[in-house]
Structure 1
Amino acid sequence: MGGRMQGMAGMILETKRLVLREMTQDDFPALCRTLQDEKAMYAYGHAFSDAEAQAWLDRQLGRCRRDGFGLWAVILKKTGRFIGQCGITWQDAGGIQVPEIGYLLERAYWHHGYATEAAVACRDYAFHTLGMERVYSIIRDTNIPSQNVAKRNGMSVCGSLVKHYHGIDMPHLIFCVSKKEA
């Protein structure tokens, strides 16, 4: 599972049902289907404006250029449709920078196992391709579905923190798994 696809520009990972590839500016409308959906963005406390969605995309493109990884487009193989994002980003976990596996899918594709499938592939990529020894997921304490994805990805709670976002204190749980545990 999750081998590197050779000869296909931007492709990073392939799973049984998904392809993960670098995002491009052309993905903006598809990205907005999630980032501008208030229900999909409940863990962020608001839906994004066009400017916030563009800043998000720019941040992912910059991460890929700078770090060699970031949040990638999740493409459903069967249809070729962009259904969300999943990948690895550097995040602050209480003052330390850690590699985080993040995922955010379009609501129509929730509860089909896609987030778990993509997250497991990203975990394995972090361990076997990037040589990381431990990966994390930092998840709002009220976001039970994302916590369940982290657990299915072999992670367990290893800490907590409070993020201050849009004037709201948001408690988060820090999940992690080491290469030895995976």
Structure 2
Amino acid sequence: MKKILETCRLYLREMEQSDFDALSRILQDEKTMYAYNGAFNDTETQAWLDNQIARYQKYGFGLWAVVLKESDEMIGQCGLTMQPWKDGEVLEIGYLLQRAYWHQGYATEAAKACKEYAFTKLHADEVCSIIRDTNIASQKVALRNGMTIMDSWTKHYRGEDMPHYRYVVKNIRI
């Protein structure tokens, strides 16, 4: 188990196959996955997990397991991914937690740590969060992470057009 980041209440580590059940509790929950137009099945969940593991190998980062220090329980995922945006690719902070852990500051805590990682370890000029227009809770996390709306774009996903905002924060090197 490779720990990547640590915060007051959490640590983030690479996901592995043994995290499938914990990941399923997130990706297979209809209410949690409303911004993705519904829950994933086992095959889609495995593909998601395989994609993260491939990202670790390709980029050295991806969505990491968010683990509560006090219980050693995986409660979500948060991390950095390269995402398509319009005609290019952007470095994104993504986050998705089990519903039982919403509204307790965990997503913001993890996202802020990922922003610092992007700026200090990856020397990124900026990071963003790409968020569906209807996902108000995730938009609030982006705002608490110092981001502002830069632009918007409609993505086509799971058979539907979905408007998204791109929240951005720049690395201010002093």
Q: TM-score, normalised by structure 1?
A: 0.94
Shift of 1:83: 0.1
Gaps of 5+ in 1: 1-8
Q: 1 CA distance for matches of 2:117 and 2:139?
A: 20
Identity percentage of aligned residues: 60
1:20-39, Cα deviation, whole Å (9 max, x unpaired): 00000000000000000000
Aligned-CA RMSD value: 1.1
Shift of 1:166: 1.0
SS in 2 for 1:171: strand
* Moved >4 Å (runs of 4+): none
State the partner residue of 2:112: 120
1:110-161, Cα deviation, whole Å (9 max, x unpaired): 0000000000000000000111110010000000000000000000000001
Q: 2 CA distance for matches of 1:102 and 1:20?
A: 13
Q: 2 CA distance for matches of 1:153 and 1:45?
A: 25
1:75-124, Cα deviation, whole Å (9 max, x unpaired): 00011100000000000111111100000000000000000000000000
Q: 1 CA distance for matches of 2:8 and 2:161?
A: 38
Number of residue pairs aligned between Structure 1 and Structure 2: 174
Q: 1:141 aligned to 2:133?
A: yes
**Match for residue 162 of structure 1 among 154, 160, 169:** 154
Shift of 1:180: 1.2
Q: 2 CA distance for matches of 1:114 and 1:95?
A: 32
Q: TM-score, normalised by structure 2?
A: 0.98
**Match for residue 57 of structure 2 among 65, 71, 76:** 65
State the partner residue of 1:179: 171
Q: 1:92 aligned to 2:84?
A: yes
SS in 1 for 2:146: coil
